Amino acid sequence: MAMLGKRRPPRPASNKSGLARQESAKQAPNAETTSDQVLTIERLAHDGRGVGHLPSGKAVFVDQALPGERVEIATHMTRKRFDEAHIRERLSAAPERVTPPCPHFGHCGGCDLQHMSVPAQREHKREVVRELLFRQGISWQGSLDTLKSDSDAYRRRARLGVNVDREGRVLMGFRAQRSHRLVDIASCCVLVPELQALITPLRDVLGSLKSPRDVGHIELLATPDTCVVIVRQLKEQPQDADRWHAFANEQGVALGMRSGRDSAERDSINRDNPERAKSQAGSPELHWVGAPPVLNDILTLPGCESLTLEFSPGDFLQVNADVNQQMVAQVIQWLAPQKGQQLLDLYAGMGNFSLPMAAAGAKVHAVEGSPAMVARLVANAHRHQLPVNGQQADLNSRESVNALLKEIPADAVILDPPRGGAESVCQALAKISAKPHQRPRIAYVSCDPATLARDAAHLMHGGYRIARVVAADMFVHTAHMETLMLLEPPA
Ligand SMILES: C[S@@+](CC[C@H](N)C(=O)[O-])C[C@H]1O[C@@H](n2cnc3c(N)ncnc32)[C@H](O)[C@@H]1O
């Protein structure tokens, strides 16, 4: 169902815009007042911006514009090959346009697609997958369904920046799009309800602090049994500590403090994972106020007892619990592990795929880069008495990957890499020197369809074929997505 045509040269890991390459940019002089043009939007870019063309043929990426709309634009950035603009006046509206549910949409950079209906967002994401595969010479003619949740209030983890402006007002929120400017928020409709309920009390406590300037950011996390608030306190302030303790008691949340200056330490495994690197790199040690909470994720999958996975605050956690369970169920359904089959779970984290696969009968060898997460994964498997072997390895290293594939001949492989993808692993799997029918089936779970397409092309050049593709709407109202792909070895 997927045809492999002439292949374009591999593209670098995508930037968020899906544009071919970063170019030097110039702020358009007086763009706000002088550069008004009327355009018809032709299509959506990967990041959800509308794309139109000036009479000269130059492309323009327009914030919050939808295909078919006529818009008068104001250019805010000019580049050599394209401009970037926003809508000055919308002259017509596309049928997919809806009123954004959040009052902060357009200022806050947390969401980029709230002006589109959710079905249209999902169609756009499916198109992105098809197009990125096509760019790698892969024409996917098969179905492309979407795993989705009924609720848009999905985000069980968030990091809110804190700042004090020139007038002395305390701001708490997310960064504006393509900017470091903090947007003050009074609500956030994509957070799970337990975290939404903390926004006003957090604003109140921040407003009552003697030194709000000494708060860097606040991390929020909701598990099935508890809510966690971790405060990054840049300088210890004992008088403010009391206020935080009172907040934790009133709200019934577990409170952690990271106080003091950043250390210079960097966790090398986080280099490929900017989100986690940001939240962990060099942060001072975490101190719990009161007893440390036990953080659990609970997987309830069809035909399987529920599985409890314990984790620590800095660990990778799939942000949308409902869609995550559907992804795990999908991978189990595709690989249909038989008793005794050997499975390799690569980029295994705390065992989100390893444990359910072992519970379904497979012998699992799980590989993860972070030593702390390997320990967590092994402990989680041990608690459930499941046959999971944990190994720490850098899966970007060709030597490690080649040794691993030689040592553990697998019936099936799960890949769930960070945004940079799993190029070394896929290049090695493409060259594996087993008889075709002994080569493993591969379930690839990706958070960047551009690197997935690149890696799928490597596998197809090694004889693999794409059997199934599914999009997972893990991050509703944003241009981010997960994509699942099943690749079969040659018959
Ligand atoms: C997208 S997460 C997936 C985790 C897990 N499969 C899950 O579903 O929760 C990617 C994982 O890859 C790990 N990782 C990042 N770079 C790595 C590398 N070079 N080698 C091995 N693991 C790496 C991260 O620590 C993280 O746990």
Query: Tell me: the pLDDT tens digits for 233-272?
Result: 999 888 899 999 999 999 999 999 999 877 644 444 444 4
Q: Tell me which of 245, 266, 293 is where a domain ends.
A: 293
Q: Does ligand 1 lie within 6 Å of residue 354's CB atom?
A: no
Residues 314 and 270 in one domain: no
DSSP annotation of 36 reads E
Q: Tell me which of 65, 81, 96 is where a domain ends.
A: 96
Q: Tell me how far the alpha carbon of residue 420 lies from the centroid of ligand 1, in angstroms.
A: 11
* More confident site: 434 or 313: 313
Q: Does ligand 1 lie within 6 Å of residue 380's CB atom?
A: no
Number of domains the chain contains: 3
Does 117 reside within a domain? no
Is 447 a residue of the active site? yes
Domain limits for position 87: 2-96
Annotated binding site for S-adenosyl-L-methionine: 318, 347, 368, 416
Mean pLDDT of 438-446: 95
Q: Tell me how far the alpha carbon of residue 240 lies from the centroid of ligand 1, in angstroms.
A: 37
Does 115 reside within a domain? no
Does 110 reside within a domain? no
Q: Tell me how far the alpha carbon of residue 134 lies from the centroid of ligand 1, in angstroms.
A: 27
CA-proximal residue: ligand 1, atom 17 (nearest): 369
Tell me, letter by letter, the H, E, C secondary structure of 276-344.
Answer: HHHHHCCCCCEEEECCCCCEEEEECCCCCCCEEEEECCCCCCCCEHHHHHHHHHHHHHHHCCCCCCEEE
CB 156 within 8 A of CB 221: yes
∠ CA 192-196-197, nearest 5°, is 120
Residues 248 and 341 in one domain: no
Q: Tell me how far the alpha carbon of residue 348 lies from the centroid of ligand 1, in angstroms.
A: 6
Residues 167 and 278 in one domain: yes
pLDDT the model gives residue 15: 37
Q: Does ligand 1 lie within 6 Å of residue 269's CB atom?
A: yes
CB 49 within 8 A of CB 85: no
pLDDT single digits (tens) 43-80 = 999 999 999 999 999 999 999 999 999 999 999 999 99
CA-proximal residue: ligand 1, atom 22 (nearest): 369
CATH assignment of the domain containing 91: 2.40.50.140
CA-proximal residue: ligand 1, atom 8 (nearest): 352
Does 42 reside within a domain? yes
Residues 410 and 482 in one domain: yes
